[in-house]
Chain A
Amino acid sequence: MKYSVLGPTGIRVSKVCLGSATFGVAPSSQDADGVVGAALDLGINFFDTADVYGSTPTFDRPGFPPASQRESAEEILGRALAGRRDEVVLATKSGERRFDPDAGLSRRYVIQQVEQSLRRLRTDHIDVYYGHFPDPHTPLDQTLAVYDDLIRQGKIRYAALSNHPAWQMTEALWIADDRRLVSGPVAAQVMYSLLDRNAEKELAAACTRFGLSIVPYAPLHGGILADLSVLDREIAGGKRFGGPGYSEAEIAVARELDRLAREWGLGMQQVSLAWLLSRPAVASVIVGAETPGEVRANASAADIELTAEQLDAVSALTADLAS
């Protein structure tokens, strides 16, 4: 495994981060131990979860218990990490309003969620705590002030923001600087892959300028950039989160990428992830492996170095998405 320094923190995180959004579904509660164990054995030390992962209806799938009967991903992850908590950099989040109208980034809600996450994760501190989505009803300075207090209380180590536009990342740094907070956001977690390059429109330049890390989620665009056989699966891509399947254009790009990967004697997921890890400011990519085999396949990408020509060839496949 290879490691990156996360933004201005000085801490090292594995270039492949294990996501847990679908814990409790795929992998099931029982199989999650095996997935987490495989990750730890491979040197993965960065684990990403959220208060709403696992047991919200987003992740419902035919053949699995309904959301209300599933454990939360944090509980499953906390159990799987028992005894090895010190080895990992644990990231969680709060603020998704999709299923909870009271959710947001207010002081009241954030503190409540941190307390609950600590209990579910069976730990006394969270390493990286994200604002999951912008909250139009809570001024950013309020949220950053509560993160500052939580850092000083020792409940979280660093604050970060997910799904925030570049200008709000910049505003957050401004507020942290102006008010002498311990920490501005140290990382931006956003959807980013060869098939979704919105992060390159503004965020990449801002994070490079200010020394923040980008931590992409959906780096394999729901599987299609890992293996074309996902096209035969019942549940792939956005469908894992209740969305639609893939467009013709996306499938065409994936076929081209598959052709290049074969030509280079590499796995398609290796090429996808190695390309993404080569992009400016990207520190670690969050993979949503459903089995230990998928963990191993994804983790192997951290050791792949593509040549400048290979990276250019991959970039060129979706150059139109970058501007």
Chain B
Amino acid sequence: MEYSVLGRSGMRVSRICLGTATFGVAPDPREAERIVDAALDLGVNFVDTADVYGNMPVFDRAGAPPAAEREPAEQILGRALRGRRDEVVIATKSNGITGLGVNDRGLSRRHVIRQVEESLRRLETDWIDLYYAHDPDPDTPLEETLAVYDDLNRQGKIRAVGLSNHPAWRVTHALWVADERRLASAPVAAEVKYNLVDRAVERELAAAAEQFGVSIVPYAPLHGGLLADLAVLDRETSGDQRFGAPGFPPAEIALAHEVDRLSREWGLEMQQVALAWLLSRPAVASAIVGPESVDELRADASAAEVELSAEQLDALTVLAVEPPAFHHAGDGPRQPSSASVDA
């Protein structure tokens, strides 16, 4: 396994991070424990969870028990890590809806503290290594949330702060607030959806993350399985269908076929190519994979050892469905259609 330093935290995290969103569904709780064991044995030391993972109805699937009868992913993970807690960097999050009460969500001091306490209990630990704001909360000023993270850090309940699904300007604003108020909660990581098919991150966040030394931690790096194996197209539940959304559009399937073709040509597995490309992108520290079996985990973990040549990386980078970059980096504006000038 290879490791990256996570932002300015000094913590080393494996380039492959084990995601747990569907723990309790696929894998079921027993397979989940085997996956966690195997991950540790492979050198994966970075695990990603959230207060709402595992037992929310969005993860419901035919053949699995309904949400109300499932354990939270944090609880399965905590049990699986018994005796090996010190070996791993645990990331969890809050802001998802956790109950019927009007305050059972958000990034308020009240809710955040309660969620941290509950996560600590479910994870069977007394500290969280990386604590994310799961999504922006339009109702709580960022200053308020960063202040509670600062307190939690000083109380020893969390070690570092991350922002998930936040636009680049909000990440920048958080760094500003933390700097101005001398908070120990400047974000060290930004968790976002990012893969060969979905490169929205490259519009703004990648450049901001590089400028400020924040790590990008992509989720859905295989785009829901499409970039792992074209066989997912034959599965009942794949892609965003795993989270209750529709399947893959034709342009994405066409791109995946291209990646598949290149991978065969290079004698590599498709998921190795997709993950190695992603790990080569600026500021990307670790990619969160969601294996449903030990075999899938092994296949994903092997990508950390794959080094693609500059030519191979370029061949993948040009496959973008839409041109990603803000329209004028480098030495002058990109020509021609993104014109440089006023009407």
**Chain A contact residues, CB within 8 Å of chain B:** 19-21, 48, 50, 53, 58-59, 96-98, 101, 133-134, 136, 163, 165-171, 173-174, 177-178, 189, 191, 198, 201-203, 205-206, 209, 217-220, 222, 238, 240-244, 286-288
Contact = CB atoms under 8 A, between A and B. Distances in A.
B332 A98 contact: yes
Contacts of B155: none
Contacts of B101: none
Given A50-B341, A243-B337, 7 more contacts: A133-B332, A177-B180, A178-B179, A191-B339, A201-B204, A205-B167, A238-B337
B342 interface: yes
Interface in B318-343: 326-333, 335-343
Nearest to B331: A97
A279 B328 CA distance: 24
Given A136-B329, A243-B337, A286 B172 contact: no
Contacts of A59: 341
Contact of B208 (A167, A191, A198): A167
Interface string B2-41: 0000000000000000000000000000000000000000
Nearest to A175: B176
A286 B204 contact: no
Contacts, number: 134
Nearest to A203: B169
A277 B158 CA distance: 45
B183 interface: no
B339 A134 contact: no
A217 B326 contact: no
Contact of A220 (B331, B340, B343): B343
Contact of A201 (B171, B203, B336): B203
A48 B200 CA distance: 31
A241 B330 contact: no
Interface of B: 167-169, 171-173, 175-176, 179-180, 200, 203-205, 207-208, 211, 326-333, 335-343
A244 B169 contact: no
B336 A134 contact: no
B332 A166 contact: no
Contact of B336 (A198, A202, A238): A238
A145 B16 CA distance: 42
A101 B176 CA distance: 33
A171 B333 CA distance: 21
A21 B333 contact: no
A243 B335 contact: yes
Contacts of A20: 342
B333 A202 contact: no
Contacts of B211: 167, 171
Task: Please name the 8 residue pairs, one residue from A and one from B, whose CB atoms are nearest each other, closest first.
Answer: A288-B343, A243-B336, A167-B168, A167-B208, A166-B169, A174-B176, A206-B169, A217-B342
Contacts of B342: 19-21, 48, 50, 53, 189, 217-218, 286, 288
B343 A202 contact: no
Contact of B340 (A19, A133, A169, A178): A133
Given A202-B169, A222-B343, A286-B342, A136 B330 contact: yes
Given A191-B339, A218-B342, A241-B341, A163 B333 contact: yes
Contacts of A205: 167, 169
Nearest to B173: A170
A82 B295 CA distance: 77
A218 B167 contact: no
Most buried by A among B203, B208, B341, B343: B343
Contact of B337 (A166, A189, A244): A244
A247 B24 CA distance: 48
